[in-house]
Amino acid sequence: MPDHFTLTSRRTFLRLALAAPVLPVRSLARQEDVPPSAVVRLDAGQRAYHVSPGGQIQDALEAAAKDPVNKTVYVHAGTYRPPARGQALIWFNARHDGITLEALGEVILTAANPEIADPKAPSFPAVVNHVVYFGDEVTRNTVFRGFKVTGANNFTTGSGEKSPIESDYVRKTAFFYADGGGLKVYARAYPTIEGVEVYTNYTTPCGGGVSVEHLGQVQDSVLFRNCIFRDNRTQITGSGLDLLHGSRATLENCLFVGNMANLGVDYVGMLGGAEYRPEHGSGAMTVFDGSRATVSRCTFTGNWNGVDDDGRGSTYVETIFWRNTLAGGISPGSRYELDITDGAGVERSFIHGDINDLRGTINKEANTFDPPDPRFDAQFIPRAPQFAGVGYRPVAPPSRTRR
């Protein structure tokens, strides 16, 4: 959110966010090191840890963090739920840097656990703030690959500067707790996120699918490659992906579809003195002032707006923006494909919707406005020949030996 939103007002916001149930810290999921269980095992031949359904992925991450040799964790097909209420199902910190966490088959990581959730809470059945958290000093050498991430529903626990998933020395904003239902990338965290589908998550205020918050400490960008952001929702901004002030992200071959922002009033903007884009609302991806996105060969279609970008130096190359006209939010104005302050970096992209270029900043000669229908198939591959070199294409996951 805008940088005029001070720490004091963030704390005020937390007290006012009535839709987000807050639990005492004593209820948080465990963080202490736990020896690998029977369903978390080391395969010395593969030099990898394996987690099977019934096991805790965090146990394997802690084992790999201590292991100087075996830095890969394979998670076998199944659905993995939080064992207790907490701030994340799994988390990465500096000690986990260099670990590859990879799904074998269909692995669903969910924030939901109806067996322990309060059925009367608006957040039911979610029991964690974020499904996956990437924290300070996590580099591109940390790889998160092949998972499906879902189930966040505006559950929030914790406040202040102490958290069981992050160092006490790292400053915590209100958005550390509230944003990023699927994935939260925080402080100096720049992981590689590859082949991941983030879907049907909800948060308020922002970042229903993913929230990136580098706190202005930009040393690299978080990399999203071959990812899908689908059917995520948020009360205000960045339904699929939110880049908060002073953040960087690189997106290669990603798909945004069905994401919905502006489901309710902008109470954060009201606290800061001005609502954010009240007329037309926010997009499937929001890039705040002081942030930058590097986007190539992605597709945005069927969202409540495409992209709103208030940063400088963002690039959108060989990307499809097609009919981001999804209805349902409260902003009264028409839907748009791009609302971008600095449009110089939009090149060789195909753009068509109710409003193609809300601010008139995009070079029409460097792009194709109002192209023919791409005729997407069920996987959003455009069948029209004009789109041969642009937009998202699905990529099959790597074949691994299952042991």
pLDDT (average), residues 189-217: 97
Please provide the average confidence, as pLDDT, over all residues in the chain.
90
277 pLDDT band, cuts 50/70/90, is confident
pTM for this entry: 0.90
Q: What is the pLDDT of residues 91-143, one digit of tens each?
A: 999 999 999 999 999 999 999 999 999 999 999 999 999 999 999 999 999 99
Selection from 158-162, 284-288, 396-400 with the highest mean pLDDT: 284-288
The whole-number pLDDT of residue 15 equals 41
Domain locations in the chain as residue ranges? 7-387
Q: What is the pLDDT of residues 68-105, one digit of tens each?
A: 999 999 999 999 999 999 999 999 999 999 999 999 99
398 pLDDT band, cuts 50/70/90, is confident
pLDDT (average), residues 60-72: 97
Q: How many angstroms separate the CA atoms of 128 and 27, rounded?
A: 11
Q: What is the pLDDT of residues 335-357, one digit of tens each?
A: 999 999 999 999 999 999 999 99
The whole-number pLDDT of residue 212 equals 98
The whole-number pLDDT of residue 94 equals 97
Q: What is the pLDDT of residues 23-39, one digit of tens each?
A: 332 233 433 344 445 68
CATH of domain 7-387: 2.160.20
